[in-house]
Amino acid sequence: MSPFVNVLGAKRLELLAGPRTLRQDIGVVLNPRHPEGQKTASDVLTAARSLGLSIYIVSAASDREIDEAFADLAKRRVGAVLIATDPFFTVKRDQILALTMRYSLPAIYDTREYAAAGG
């Protein structure tokens, strides 16, 4: 995997926060089975600290865990969600998009397939 993937995750966090300061946590959905998962978590935590943001990381590696992760993020009232770069999440984009809509969570994704599907 390219070292740019994790740098881009941090950049997406910066874009998600935008010029305004979020008063709520930003949720980050990671797949613990992805080989770069721990590195992504570390890079996002570092980026969040440098931006003065609070993040809440949830793990999801199955359909059920994706559902539970979004329910948890909604319960925590996060201000937005960053979906980590992962082919598994890209395949599950319809489920993820439905959950962002159900819980009214602004989100940022890594591929154009999410936007093409309505994200």
The residue-averaged pLDDT of 48-58 equals 87
Residue 5's pLDDT is: 43
**CATH superfamily for domain 4-114:** Response regulator (3.40.50.2300)
The residue-averaged pLDDT of 86-92 equals 94
**How would DSSP label each residue in 9-63?**
HHHHHHHHH-SSPPSS-EEEEE-TTSTTHHHHHHHHHHHHHHHT--EEEEE--SH
Per-domain residue ranges of the chain: 4-114
More confident residue, 33 or 6: 33
pTM score, two decimals?
0.82
With a cut of 70, say whether residue 93 has pLDDT above it: yes
